Chain A
Amino acid sequence: MKKLNYFIMTIIGFTALLSSCNNQGKGASSGALASSAAEKVYVAPGEHDEFYAFISGGFSGQLSVYGLPSGRLFKVIPVFSQDAEKAWGYNEETKPMLNTSHGFVPWDDAHHPDISQTNGELDGRYVFINGNNTPRIAKVDLSVFETTEIIEIPNSAGNHSSAFVTENTEYVVAGTRFSVPVPQRDMPINEYKGNFKGALSFLSVNPDDGRMNIEFQLLMPGFDYDLSHPGRGNSHGWFFFTTYNTEEANSLLEVNASQNDKDFIAAVNWKKIEEYVKGGGGTKMPANYAHNVYDDNTHTATSTMKKEVLVVNPVDVPGAIFYLPTPKSPHGCDVDPTGEYIVGAGKLSADLTVHSFTKMLNAIENKKFDGEAYGIPILKFEDVLAGTVSSGGLGPLHTEFDAAGNAYTTFFISSEVVKWKVGSWEVVDRQPCFYSVGHLMVPGGNSRKPFGKYLVAMNKITKDRYLPTGPEVTQSAQLYDITGEKMELLLDFPTIGEPHYAAGIAADIIKERSRKIFNLTDNKHKYATTSDADVKVERNGKEVHVYMTTIRSHFNPDNIEGIKVGDKVYFHVTNLEQDYDVPHGVSIIGANTSELLIMPGQTETFVWEPKQVGVWPFYCTDFCSALHQEMQGYVRVSPENSNIGLSWSLGE
């Protein structure tokens, strides 16, 4: 027997050797490069990555957390979509987070994460991200990596030019992609032109607790507002939005919105509008939108319907808003780290258009106007243009920057990243993407201080790049080393949903602040049981509340009797653990909802409506200790007319 085993091992060994020889033979030209690329992305077991990358989940509605350079996925933070794994939108505590003026909306299309800034540098407190479909802005608190606030945006539709922050996180901006009637009303679609409005919303962020509030909405002409970025340095106080469909077409936009040779970048002096609003300007307009806040002490979210929003008509604030003509339905609207250059990526063009902030101010001062659109002055193209980047690529989409004066632009149609020099507009390198790249991200690349070092390109198509998984295949991210003159492709890794955009930051800024547990003594949940002495079961008509605790490795109580068919049973479960990485899960047979996944010190609630008489088990769903398999209990369910009283116990 042993001899046979040895023989088989030898054969396997030989085969392995042979096949590895073959591989080397095939990739002879890239062999040396490939091995150095592997070293660059290798993060040894137990070691930490240098950067966090927060990559949007697109139509998954969530935000994923990856490490760079390894491309390892650490967490998917539920934001706009229900997530049964974490009970997000399933447990009683987080259901209010997905409330809107349209009722409970369990999904959205999450697009553009942006990290909060202080003095133009990433500070790592929050990530903001927009829900595109039912317009919302969410805030993820990076001390807990959880969504703690979601605010619905009224008068908006297709919340796409969002959620970008000003350089001291004074505002998060939410611009509408689709213009709509404001206020919404029953009217013929083909009367769009001149009647629909595009709302650009400015949400303040409270410096102390991060609480968001819609301070004002600019009701702009009915174009599509595609992407945006704030000014920085000298241009701090301004915000720039790309527009398309300045034709104001309401059908077959594929053709009809591509008629004008130039659309606009809207330059908005938000400081001026802020002054106007603080001085009593603007109109309070009836509205209806949800403001949902999760509290880490009550472990519970509340949803409040707001009934009013302050709107500003741009013509009422002269000198605050201007249009910069920009060719060919521009998509990306990116400002370089100095704040001087505003890059418009005309997606139907081959070239990038770069505007100069200084020239823009001169043109405004000297009234170099080329007409107006609905009362908003259009600046003369030649008088604001700083330069054109002619790369020979097709379909430029989005640009970010490193700390050494270089810019990196994705080209969707020609499927490549192009590196060029800010100021001389000279193209210095280009590398292919596999395939059809959308946005890209350089850690800190949309701030005053890019970290540089890596570039992540986010691809829409992967076709043959991975093992096939049926008709639906993953989208991907590609990691490039940008420390040299030439970019070097290091790694491909799959992403969740569709990676529209990402935000990257040095891990050191965040990891020390990451919380390990919730303190039991701070638990202010309405149904918390922070001491085992307070465990109980209470009946209120057909409603039964179970005040339950968990600790390795039992539930208290674990035997409950007196529940009846037709009852609505609330299990309020408090995890009494106070040690890092000891969550407990729980569910019961037939529950029409997800499990709970309860962090140490936290209370969560699920509802069970037993429909069948019997004795039904519940158990811990997250492996917690050597006695995890023993962590179980029973609920006795009696007929509706039974007179068995409530009783509960543990170990009796």
Chain B
Amino acid sequence: MKMNNYHLLILFSVLLLGCGEKETKKEGFSVERQKSATEQKVDVPETNTVKASERIELSNKGVGPIQSVVLNAEIDQAMAAEGKAVYDQMCLACHRVGKKFIGPPPNNILQRRSPEWVMNMILNPDAMVKEDPLAKDLLQEFNGSPMANQSLTEVQARAVLEYFRTL
């Protein structure tokens, strides 16, 4: 019986919420307007926590085959060019430079992530979103859209990382 009361309470709340929504809709039929209204509401509580995409975790190496990456002071331009070619084919559908798209943008990524973490995210996304707390939060932040495993080789992933350094 207790359970039933609880359910009724939820039902009522849903009904109430539904009514509320209907009222805002009456203000106008434009979908855009309504969207911006909800976004503003969400912004208030989010000031408490830093978004996963904006967190800085330079000591987290992630989960996967890459234990250590040494970056030379100078960018290897040939490797970066190869990396761009791989990126354009394998990554561009979801990651755009300078713009949040399906996933986060790759520019300045090394200011927020370790090179190992980046490569592990490319090479081992299935395990990363299960075992790495940051990757898990990113999945949430990006709407549950999974990072696809594009079956890159380690060499290709390294080249993509070098390309990221040029952005």
Residues on A lying within 8 angstroms of B by beta carbon are: 517, 520-521, 530-533, 549, 551-554, 556, 576-579, 582, 625-627, 651
Contact A549 B93 (CB under 8 A): yes
Contact B90 A578 (CB under 8 A): yes
Contact B148 A582 (CB under 8 A): yes
Contact A533 B145 (CB under 8 A): no
**What is the minimal beta-carbon distance from A305 to any residue of chain B, in angstroms?**
37
B16 at the interface (CB under 8 A from A): no
Residue pairs across A and B with Cβ atoms less than 8 A apart, 21 shown, are A520-B90, A530-B89, A532-B92, A533-B88, A533-B92, A551-B93, A551-B94, A552-B146, A553-B145, A554-B93, A556-B93, A576-B90, A577-B148, A577-B150, A578-B90, A578-B148, A578-B150, A578-B151, A626-B145, A626-B146, A651-B101
Chain B residues closer than 8 Å to A551, beta-carbon distance: 93-94, 148
B30 at the interface (CB under 8 A from A): no
- A-side interface mostly: loop
- A551 vs B94: C-alpha distance in the bound complex, in angstroms? 8
A1 nearest CB neighbor, chain B only: B1
Interface centre among A549, A553, A582 (most CB of B within 10 A): A553
Known: A517-B151, A551-B148. 6 other contacts (CB 8 A): A521-B89, A531-B92, A549-B93, A626-B144, A626-B145, A627-B145
**What is the minimal beta-carbon distance from A580 to any residue of chain B, in angstroms?**
8
Contact B149 A531 (CB under 8 A): no
B147 nearest CB neighbor, chain A only: A552
Contact A627 B144 (CB under 8 A): yes
**What is the minimal beta-carbon distance from A584 to any residue of chain B, in angstroms?**
11
Contact B144 A576 (CB under 8 A): no
- A419 vs B72: C-alpha distance in the bound complex, in angstroms? 74
A574 nearest CB neighbor, chain B only: B93
- A551 vs B88: C-alpha distance in the bound complex, in angstroms? 14
Contact B93 A625 (CB under 8 A): no
Chain B residues closer than 8 Å to A531, beta-carbon distance: 88-89, 92
Contact A554 B102 (CB under 8 A): yes
A579 nearest CB neighbor, chain B only: B149
Chain A residues closer than 8 Å to B144, beta-carbon distance: 626-627
- A589 vs B59: C-alpha distance in the bound complex, in angstroms? 51
Chain B residues closer than 8 Å to A520, beta-carbon distance: 89-90
Closest 3 CB pairs of A and B: A578-B151, A532-B92, A579-B149
Chain B residues closer than 8 Å to A521, beta-carbon distance: 89
Chain B residues closer than 8 Å to A556, beta-carbon distance: 93
Q: Mark B57-100, 1 if CB is under 8 A from A, else 0.
A: 00000000000000000000000000000001110111000000
B143 at the interface (CB under 8 A from A): yes
- A579 vs B88: C-alpha distance in the bound complex, in angstroms? 17
Chain A residues closer than 8 Å to B146, beta-carbon distance: 552, 625-626
Chain A residues closer than 8 Å to B88, beta-carbon distance: 531-533
B125 nearest CB neighbor, chain A only: A579
B144 nearest CB neighbor, chain A only: A626
B151 nearest CB neighbor, chain A only: A578
- A552 vs B93: C-alpha distance in the bound complex, in angstroms? 9
B91 nearest CB neighbor, chain A only: A532
**What is the minimal beta-carbon distance from A583 to any residue of chain B, in angstroms?**
13
- A1 vs B92: C-alpha distance in the bound complex, in angstroms? 57
Contact A552 B92 (CB under 8 A): no
**What is the minimal beta-carbon distance from A501 to any residue of chain B, in angstroms?**
38
A579-B148, A579-B149, A579-B151 in contact; A627/B143 too (CB < 8 A)?
Answer: yes
Contact B93 A532 (CB under 8 A): yes
Chain B residues closer than 8 Å to A582, beta-carbon distance: 148
Which residue of B93, B143, B152 is within 8 Å of A576 (Cβ)? B93
B3 nearest CB neighbor, chain A only: A1
Chain A residues closer than 8 Å to B90, beta-carbon distance: 520, 576, 578
Which residue of A530, A549, A552 is within 8 Å of B148 (Cβ)? A552
**What is the minimal beta-carbon distance from A97 to any residue of chain B, in angstroms?**
28
Chain A residues closer than 8 Å to B101, beta-carbon distance: 651
- A455 vs B88: C-alpha distance in the bound complex, in angstroms? 52
A554-B102, A626-B144 in contact; A578/B149 too (CB < 8 A)?
Answer: yes
- A625 vs B126: C-alpha distance in the bound complex, in angstroms? 13
**What is the minimal beta-carbon distance from A25 to any residue of chain B, in angstroms?**
43
Interface centre among B93, B94, B146, B150 (most CB of A within 10 A): B93
**What is the minimal beta-carbon distance from B37 to any residue of chain A, in angstroms?**
21
- A553 vs B148: C-alpha distance in the bound complex, in angstroms? 10
- A531 vs B102: C-alpha distance in the bound complex, in angstroms? 16
B86 nearest CB neighbor, chain A only: A521
- A626 vs B94: C-alpha distance in the bound complex, in angstroms? 16
**What is the minimal beta-carbon distance from A628 to any residue of chain B, in angstroms?**
11
A520 nearest CB neighbor, chain B only: B89
**What is the minimal beta-carbon distance from B149 to any residue of chain A, in angstroms?**
4
- A517 vs B149: C-alpha distance in the bound complex, in angstroms? 12
- A552 vs B145: C-alpha distance in the bound complex, in angstroms? 7
**What is the minimal beta-carbon distance from B165 to any residue of chain A, in angstroms?**
20
Chain B residues closer than 8 Å to A517, beta-carbon distance: 151
- A485 vs B151: C-alpha distance in the bound complex, in angstroms? 51
- A576 vs B88: C-alpha distance in the bound complex, in angstroms? 11
**What is the minimal beta-carbon distance from B1 to any residue of chain A, in angstroms?**
9
- A551 vs B125: C-alpha distance in the bound complex, in angstroms? 15
- A551 vs B146: C-alpha distance in the bound complex, in angstroms? 10
B95 nearest CB neighbor, chain A only: A532
- A577 vs B102: C-alpha distance in the bound complex, in angstroms? 14
**What is the minimal beta-carbon distance from A319 to any residue of chain B, in angstroms?**
57
Chain B residues closer than 8 Å to A579, beta-carbon distance: 148-151
A517 nearest CB neighbor, chain B only: B151
Q: Mark B125-166, 1 if CB is under 8 A from A, else 0.
A: 000000000000000000111101111100000000000000
Chain B residues closer than 8 Å to A626, beta-carbon distance: 144-146
Chain B residues closer than 8 Å to A553, beta-carbon distance: 145
**What is the minimal beta-carbon distance from A522 to any residue of chain B, in angstroms?**
12
**What is the minimal beta-carbon distance from A648 to any residue of chain B, in angstroms?**
15
Which residue of B145, B150, B151, B152 is within 8 Å of A625 (Cβ)? B145
A556 nearest CB neighbor, chain B only: B93
A550 nearest CB neighbor, chain B only: B93
- A551 vs B150: C-alpha distance in the bound complex, in angstroms? 10
A554 nearest CB neighbor, chain B only: B102
- A627 vs B102: C-alpha distance in the bound complex, in angstroms? 11
**What is the minimal beta-carbon distance from B40 to any residue of chain A, in angstroms?**
21
Chain B residues closer than 8 Å to A533, beta-carbon distance: 88, 92
- A533 vs B101: C-alpha distance in the bound complex, in angstroms? 14
